[in-house]
Amino acid sequence: MQGLILLDRDGVLNRLVIDAEQGTIDSPLSPDQVVLLPGVPQALNSFSQAGYAICIISNQPAAAKGKTTRENLERTHDRVLELAQSAGGKIDASYICFHKSEDGCPCRKPRTGLLEEALRRYPDIQRSNTWVIGDGITDIQAGAALDLQTVYLGPKKSDAHRIFVESQCLPSLWEENLANFTNHLLNKEKIH
Protein backbone atom coordinates (compact mmCIF):
# COMPACT_ATOMS: atom_id res chain seq x y z
CA MET A 1 0.00 0.00 0.00
CA GLN A 2 1.19 3.48 -0.91
CA GLY A 3 -0.68 5.14 1.95
CA LEU A 4 -4.02 5.57 3.66
CA ILE A 5 -6.77 8.08 2.88
CA LEU A 6 -9.28 8.64 5.72
CA LEU A 7 -12.26 10.57 4.38
CA ASP A 8 -15.03 12.33 6.22
CA ARG A 9 -18.23 11.70 4.27
CA ASP A 10 -20.72 14.58 4.21
CA GLY A 11 -19.29 17.68 2.56
CA VAL A 12 -16.34 15.66 1.25
CA LEU A 13 -17.94 12.89 -0.82
CA ASN A 14 -21.57 14.01 -0.94
CA ARG A 15 -23.45 17.28 -0.73
CA LEU A 16 -25.06 18.40 2.49
CA VAL A 17 -28.85 18.92 2.43
CA ILE A 18 -31.09 21.66 3.78
CA ASP A 19 -33.53 20.75 6.52
CA ALA A 20 -36.37 23.05 5.46
CA GLU A 21 -38.21 22.61 8.76
CA GLN A 22 -35.27 23.69 10.91
CA GLY A 23 -33.59 25.92 8.35
CA THR A 24 -30.28 24.14 8.93
CA ILE A 25 -27.74 22.25 6.85
CA ASP A 26 -27.55 18.52 7.58
CA SER A 27 -26.35 15.16 6.34
CA PRO A 28 -28.61 13.27 3.93
CA LEU A 29 -31.14 11.26 5.94
CA SER A 30 -32.33 8.96 3.16
CA PRO A 31 -30.79 7.40 0.04
CA ASP A 32 -32.77 9.65 -2.31
CA GLN A 33 -31.07 12.73 -0.80
CA VAL A 34 -27.56 11.55 -1.72
CA VAL A 35 -25.84 13.66 -4.38
CA LEU A 36 -22.09 13.27 -4.85
CA LEU A 37 -19.84 16.28 -5.12
CA PRO A 38 -18.24 16.78 -8.57
CA GLY A 39 -15.19 14.63 -9.32
CA VAL A 40 -15.52 12.31 -6.30
CA PRO A 41 -15.71 8.94 -8.15
CA GLN A 42 -12.75 9.92 -10.33
CA ALA A 43 -10.72 11.07 -7.31
CA LEU A 44 -11.35 7.78 -5.50
CA ASN A 45 -10.39 5.85 -8.60
CA SER A 46 -7.14 7.84 -8.83
CA PHE A 47 -6.32 7.08 -5.18
CA SER A 48 -7.02 3.37 -5.74
CA GLN A 49 -4.95 3.26 -8.92
CA ALA A 50 -2.05 4.91 -7.06
CA GLY A 51 -2.16 2.20 -4.37
CA TYR A 52 -3.86 4.06 -1.52
CA ALA A 53 -6.25 2.33 0.86
CA ILE A 54 -9.41 4.38 1.35
CA CYS A 55 -11.65 4.45 4.43
CA ILE A 56 -14.57 6.61 5.48
CA ILE A 57 -14.60 8.05 9.01
CA SER A 58 -17.88 9.77 9.77
CA ASN A 59 -20.05 10.99 12.64
CA GLN A 60 -23.70 10.16 11.85
CA PRO A 61 -25.82 11.12 14.89
CA ALA A 62 -29.20 11.69 13.16
CA ALA A 63 -30.84 8.49 14.50
CA ALA A 64 -29.58 9.20 18.03
CA LYS A 65 -31.13 12.66 17.70
CA GLY A 66 -34.46 11.16 16.59
CA LYS A 67 -34.33 12.59 13.04
CA THR A 68 -34.43 9.22 11.27
CA THR A 69 -33.77 5.53 11.88
CA ARG A 70 -30.44 3.75 12.02
CA GLU A 71 -31.63 1.57 9.12
CA ASN A 72 -32.22 4.70 7.03
CA LEU A 73 -28.72 5.97 7.87
CA GLU A 74 -27.20 2.64 6.84
CA ARG A 75 -29.15 2.62 3.56
CA THR A 76 -28.05 6.21 2.94
CA HIS A 77 -24.43 5.25 3.57
CA ASP A 78 -24.75 2.30 1.17
CA ARG A 79 -25.98 4.73 -1.49
CA VAL A 80 -22.98 7.02 -0.91
CA LEU A 81 -20.66 4.01 -1.30
CA GLU A 82 -22.40 2.85 -4.47
CA LEU A 83 -22.15 6.24 -6.16
CA ALA A 84 -18.66 7.06 -4.89
CA GLN A 85 -17.21 3.79 -6.20
CA SER A 86 -18.92 4.08 -9.61
CA ALA A 87 -15.67 4.99 -11.44
CA GLY A 88 -13.75 2.01 -10.07
CA GLY A 89 -12.28 3.43 -6.87
CA LYS A 90 -12.53 1.10 -3.90
CA ILE A 91 -13.54 2.18 -0.40
CA ASP A 92 -11.99 -0.50 1.79
CA ALA A 93 -13.92 0.15 5.00
CA SER A 94 -16.26 2.57 6.75
CA TYR A 95 -15.94 3.59 10.39
CA ILE A 96 -19.06 5.37 11.60
CA CYS A 97 -20.02 6.78 14.98
CA PHE A 98 -23.81 6.87 15.39
CA HIS A 99 -23.73 8.69 18.76
CA LYS A 100 -24.53 12.32 19.42
CA SER A 101 -21.91 14.52 21.06
CA GLU A 102 -23.57 14.39 24.49
CA ASP A 103 -23.02 10.61 24.60
CA GLY A 104 -19.26 11.11 25.08
CA CYS A 105 -18.39 8.28 22.69
CA PRO A 106 -14.60 7.81 22.25
CA CYS A 107 -15.13 7.26 18.52
CA ARG A 108 -16.93 10.50 17.76
CA LYS A 109 -14.64 13.05 16.13
CA PRO A 110 -12.77 15.09 17.37
CA ARG A 111 -11.96 12.06 19.51
CA THR A 112 -9.76 9.56 17.71
CA GLY A 113 -11.50 6.18 18.09
CA LEU A 114 -12.64 5.91 14.45
CA LEU A 115 -9.20 6.83 13.16
CA GLU A 116 -7.43 4.44 15.53
CA GLU A 117 -9.66 1.60 14.35
CA ALA A 118 -8.75 2.36 10.73
CA LEU A 119 -5.03 2.60 11.57
CA ARG A 120 -5.14 -0.84 13.24
CA ARG A 121 -6.38 -2.29 9.96
CA TYR A 122 -3.24 -0.99 8.19
CA PRO A 123 -0.36 -1.35 10.68
CA ASP A 124 2.34 -1.20 7.98
CA ILE A 125 1.30 2.16 6.55
CA GLN A 126 3.38 5.09 7.78
CA ARG A 127 1.49 7.82 9.62
CA SER A 128 3.39 10.35 7.51
CA ASN A 129 1.54 8.93 4.49
CA THR A 130 -1.88 8.81 6.14
CA TRP A 131 -4.22 11.65 5.25
CA VAL A 132 -7.35 12.70 7.16
CA ILE A 133 -9.57 14.70 4.82
CA GLY A 134 -12.57 16.62 6.05
CA ASP A 135 -14.65 19.76 5.85
CA GLY A 136 -14.85 20.46 9.57
CA ILE A 137 -12.53 21.35 12.41
CA THR A 138 -13.32 18.08 14.22
CA ASP A 139 -11.84 16.12 11.29
CA ILE A 140 -8.63 18.15 11.47
CA GLN A 141 -8.44 17.95 15.28
CA ALA A 142 -8.82 14.15 15.24
CA GLY A 143 -6.11 13.72 12.61
CA ALA A 144 -3.74 16.16 14.31
CA ALA A 145 -4.18 14.38 17.67
CA LEU A 146 -2.64 11.27 16.05
CA ASP A 147 0.07 13.17 14.13
CA LEU A 148 -1.51 12.39 10.77
CA GLN A 149 -1.49 14.58 7.68
CA THR A 150 -4.71 16.64 7.54
CA VAL A 151 -6.53 18.30 4.66
CA TYR A 152 -9.34 20.78 5.10
CA LEU A 153 -11.67 20.95 2.09
CA GLY A 154 -13.47 24.18 1.41
CA PRO A 155 -12.98 27.79 0.46
CA LYS A 156 -10.33 29.61 2.44
CA LYS A 157 -12.76 31.86 4.26
CA SER A 158 -11.38 34.20 6.87
CA ASP A 159 -13.75 32.88 9.56
CA ALA A 160 -12.70 29.26 9.01
CA HIS A 161 -9.04 30.24 9.04
CA ARG A 162 -9.56 32.27 12.23
CA ILE A 163 -11.22 29.29 13.92
CA PHE A 164 -8.29 27.03 13.03
CA VAL A 165 -5.81 29.61 14.32
CA GLU A 166 -7.73 30.12 17.57
CA SER A 167 -7.94 26.36 18.15
CA GLN A 168 -4.19 26.07 17.41
CA CYS A 169 -4.93 23.29 14.96
CA LEU A 170 -4.08 24.25 11.39
CA PRO A 171 -4.56 21.64 8.66
CA SER A 172 -1.48 20.35 6.82
CA LEU A 173 -3.14 21.42 3.56
CA TRP A 174 -6.15 23.49 2.57
CA GLU A 175 -7.80 22.53 -0.73
CA GLU A 176 -10.99 23.62 -2.44
CA ASN A 177 -12.27 20.05 -3.02
CA LEU A 178 -11.27 16.39 -3.14
CA ALA A 179 -10.30 16.52 -6.82
CA ASN A 180 -7.83 19.35 -6.12
CA PHE A 181 -6.25 17.39 -3.27
CA THR A 182 -6.01 14.27 -5.44
CA ASN A 183 -4.14 16.23 -8.11
CA HIS A 184 -1.85 17.77 -5.48
CA LEU A 185 -0.98 14.42 -3.85
CA LEU A 186 -0.52 12.38 -7.01
CA ASN A 187 1.47 15.08 -8.84
CA LYS A 188 3.70 15.43 -5.77
CA GLU A 189 4.39 11.69 -5.93
CA LYS A 190 5.41 11.92 -9.60
CA ILE A 191 8.04 14.55 -8.72
CA HIS A 192 9.61 12.29 -6.07
| Torsion of Cα atoms, 134 then 139 then 144 then 146, to 10° | -110
Domain count, the chain: 1
pLDDT per position in the chain (192 positions), as tens? 899 999 999 999 999 999 878 888 999 999 999 999 999 999 999 999 999 999 999 999 999 999 999 999 999 999 999 999 999 999 999 999 999 999 999 999 999 999 999 999 999 999 999 999 999 999 999 999 999 999 999 987 778 878 888 888 999 999 999 999 999 999 876 644
Spatial distance between the Cα atoms of 131 and 12, rounded to a whole number of angstroms = 13
What DSSP string describes 15-56?
Answer: --EEETTTTEEE---SGGG--BPTTHHHHHHHHHHTTEEEEE
Which residue segment(s) compose the domain that 122 sits in? Answer: 3-191
Q: Please say if 10 is a catalytic residue.
A: yes
Q: Which of 10, 78, 103, 135 is catalytic?
A: 10
Spatial distance between the Cα atoms of 125 and 30, rounded to a whole number of angstroms = 34
Let me know how long the chain is: 192
Enclosing H/E stretch for 96: strand 93-97
CATH of the domain at 9: 3.40.50.1000
Q: Please say if 8 is a catalytic residue.
A: yes
